[in-house]
Amino acid sequence: MTTTDFSIRGSTAVVTGSSSGIGRAIAERYARDGVDVVVCSRSQENVDPVAEAINEADHDGEALPIECDVTDWDAIEALVAETTDHLGPIDVWVNNAGASFVAPFEEISENGWKTIVDINLHGAFNCAQVVGEQMRERGEGTIINISSVAARDGAPGMTHYAASKAGMNNLTRTLAYEWAEYGVRVNGIMPGLIATEGLESQEGIGADDIDREEVDRQIGTPDELASVAQFLASPAASYILGETITVEGVPRIARTSHHEE
């Protein structure tokens, strides 16, 4: 194996929810590596400037902005058709679109629960179903699901989010088993705390404040997530299927007190 095995140059990728944060970092990383990438979210006005910035940066890959709501099956089909017409068949699909809000379980309405599960889990189902048809017919393709450590640990105040992400992890593992025979690889990434725009607005901590040479930390950068997304899409990950890789820095191991008897 050489470093070229980590390259995905010449591929076509779609990254949902890529107008900001982790999704944008993945789209930018792919474009720098020579991947033609679709930048998409529910608002065209949010994805246009991201694609424009990527294209103005003179990366080897081209960025195509497309508005798409992952809960809308017809919109996903239209995105796949437009992507294929402009950039060719889709090699990599990253299910990153997600949503949440904070509320104790007893205050989450049925509609609130359904909305979050529809975006986070059902949205991944919709996208995998639509693009999966093309991938299975071609006998190749990669799907990467962006989950959360909340799927493993739970998330007080966000039970809907944690449950949807736990479902995504199981979707990743089961779908990888079912579609391996078609040449389609399915894996996931389970981020911990990442210095996105949301964290900066809440805690005042931005990606520029993170020292990547420091090992002892529990806040990562979007670009560190993008590195894992590039690896999973590359030939270097050819023997990895159904895994959801945890990216959270120092493990969150519960500390227990030891008392002398």
Q: Is the pLDDT of residue 230 over 60?
A: yes
Question: What value does the mean pLDDT of the chain take?
Answer: 93
Residue 205: band (very low, low, confident or very high) from pLDDT cuts 50, 70, 90 = low
**Structure confidence at residue 202 (pLDDT):** 63
Q: Which pLDDT tens digit goes with each residue over 82-130?
A: 999 999 999 999 999 999 999 999 999 999 999 999 999 999 999 999 9
Residue 214: band (very low, low, confident or very high) from pLDDT cuts 50, 70, 90 = confident
Separation of alpha carbons 138 and 41, rounded Å: 26
Closest alpha carbon to 69 in 131, 28, 112, 16: 16
Give the mean pLDDT of 66-82.
Answer: 98
With respect to residue 252, please indicate whether it lies within any of the assigned structural domains. no
Q: Which pLDDT tens digit goes with each residue over 55-69?
A: 999 899 999 999 999
**Structure confidence at residue 207 (pLDDT):** 76
Higher pLDDT, 173 or 256: 173
Residue 209: band (very low, low, confident or very high) from pLDDT cuts 50, 70, 90 = confident
Tell me the two tokens of residue 187.
């894996």
Q: Which residues, 6+ apart, have CB-to-CB distance to 114 below 8 Å?
A: none
Q: Which residues, 6+ apart, have CB-to-CB distance to 201 below 8 Å?
A: none
With respect to residue 260, please indicate whether it lies within any of the assigned structural domains. no
Alpha-carbon separation of residue 140 from 29, 90, 125, 126, 185 (angstroms): 22, 10, 18, 19, 8
With respect to residue 176, please indicate whether it lies within any of the assigned structural domains. yes
**Structure confidence at residue 1 (pLDDT):** 58
183 and 141 Cβ atoms separated by less than 8 Å: yes
With respect to residue 140, please indicate whether it lies within any of the assigned structural domains. yes
With respect to residue 261, please indicate whether it lies within any of the assigned structural domains. no
With respect to residue 254, please indicate whether it lies within any of the assigned structural domains. no
Residue 54: domain span: 3-247
Q: Is the pLDDT of residue 253 over 60?
A: yes
DSSP helix/strand/coil, 41: strand
Higher pLDDT, 253 or 17: 17
**Structure confidence at residue 206 (pLDDT):** 72
**Structure confidence at residue 255 (pLDDT):** 52
Q: Is the pLDDT of residue 200 over 50?
A: yes
CATH at 234: 3.40.50.720
Q: Which pLDDT tens digit goes with each residue over 126-169?
A: 999 999 999 999 999 999 999 999 999 999 999 999 999 999 99
Alpha-carbon separation of residue 157 from 92, 98, 219 (angstroms): 33, 16, 21
Q: Which residues, 6+ apart, have CB-to-CB distance to 129 below 8 Å?
A: none
E strands, the chain, in order: 12-16, 36-41, 63-67, 92-95, 141-146, 184-191, 244-247
Residue 260: band (very low, low, confident or very high) from pLDDT cuts 50, 70, 90 = very low
Torsional sign, CA 69, 73, 75, 77: positive
**Structure confidence at residue 228 (pLDDT):** 98
Torsional sign, CA 162, 101, 18, 224: negative
Catalytic sites, residue numbers: 161
Residue reference for tokens 């993008």: 226
Dihedral-angle region of residue 88 (phi above 0 means left; psi in -120 to 50 means alpha; beta otherwise): left
The total domain count for the chain is 1
**Structure confidence at residue 58 (pLDDT):** 86
Q: Which residues, 6+ apart, have CB-to-CB distance to 118 below 8 Å?
A: 71
With respect to residue 103, please indicate whether it lies within any of the assigned structural domains. yes
